[in-house]
Amino acid sequence: MKQINDYRHKKILVLGLAKSGVGAASLLHKLGAFVTVNDKKPLSENPEAQGLLEQGITVICGDHPIDLLDEGFELIVKNPGIPYHNPMIEGALSRGIPVITEVELAYKISEAPFVAITGTNGKTTTTTLVYEMLHEGAKSPLIAGNIGTVASDVAQEATEDQTIVIELSSFQLMGIQTFNPKIAILINLYDAHLDYHGTLHEYWQAKANITLNQTENDYFICNSDQPEVMEIARQSKAKIVPFSTSRILDNGAFVQDGWVYFNQEKVMNTVDIVLPGAHNLENILSAVAAAKISGVTNEAIYKVLNTFKGVKHRLQYVHEFEGRKFYNDSKATNILATKNALAAFNQPIVLLAGGLDRGNEYDELVPSLKNVKSVVTFGQTAEKIEKAALEAGIKTVQRVDNVEKAVPAAFNLSKPGDVILLSPACASWDQYKTFEVRGDIFIEAVHKLK
């Protein structure tokens, strides 16, 4: 890692723990900063905070006292999940204290360049595909961010001949200052996270930060089918590398006559791609572009796309039981993701959906429910999703308490040949800590049917 003095002897507040907060606090301590950690969870229930205390880091737990901001901090590193309308963040910004996220620290110390991936949908699949292609191409990649190890931990070990492949959310991207990936990917842009960002414009601006600091020596891979994405591309200083699932391009990645092309070169036949779902073509094309820019051979790309079946919790095939196939798409935390999942199947579907109520309705889901024979709902949005199901003409709609109870209920409503699909169209936080927890509970409940 680079030995930098940017934070030496600076008084820095790390706000909110979880993995990124622990990583940031430890790294800053190592870099000679005077670190204070503030986390809402009480110290007695907070092993992460206790571990930092043992390192000699000042820890304040139990609440977020606003007067803490009067202690002369020069920088705040916040957990990405803490919104900017949080009183502590508003108070810091009003005092002129800069606020960043942990990914900025990772960039500052990393000897390795970054391939950074963002978008409303498909981030994890694309990040995994890029990593696998670089790995197959012997490019020594490391994986970080939302999908893997905390970026600042990975960056400490990375060498200049490696590449860090990182998945980034809008929450993380709002908190950058100098972060500049060698290759940036913006897969798509849709309405999402308005409870956090407040406006669609702010959400899109956060996503645009992925190319904010890029130069003419860098690459910006972007979805040329979306005017919103191309507007961001027009403001970028990087080399623009477009991809399209619907048009033939002069350069970049596209599909023609059943072949994936990059810069007019045939890469592989689409019949040999095993990843299901038409929506995954955006992910595949953007990953192919990143791999080709990085010097990966067509043979290595073929090997990955001919074997890669998907990521856990993303349209993941779980099991077949008594003629029913079970799929876990717990990562579908918005309506578009669920629409994409439903479009991947021709068989009758029993849909399991529901979760955190962010205030939106589900009318736009109605046209995608044509193959759905029954719906099992749960969580805060149960009633709203039931309304959409009834509008779509689905006669069998059942409400249960949670995902665990939804699985046997769905099985009882199904017949051999049906698909039973968990694709909630909602975040998990009303009942489950993460979408991964929700998906794991679904998988466990499926196996209990035996």
Provide the annotated binding site for ATP.
119-125
Residue 264 tokens read as 């007019």
| Residue 322: CB atoms within 10 Å | 10
Rounded CA gap, 38 and 100, in Å?
A: 15
| Nearest C-alpha neighbor of 412 from the set 445, 381, 389, 383 | 445
- DSSP string covering 148-207: SB-HHHHHHH--TTSEEEEE--HHHHTT-SS---SEEEE----S--HHHHSSHHHHHHHH
| Residue 27: CB atoms within 10 Å | 25
Rounded CA gap, 205 and 341, in Å?
A: 27
**Binding-site annotation, residues:** 119-125
* Helix ranges, 312-374 (H): 335-343
User: How far lies 168's CA from each of 102, 103, 129, 150, 305, in Å?
Assistant: 11, 9, 15, 11, 23
- DSSP string covering 249-312: -SSSEEEETTEEEETTEEEEEGGG-----TTHHHHHHHHHHHHHHTT--HHHHHHHHTT----T
Rounded CA gap, 68 and 229, in Å?
A: 40
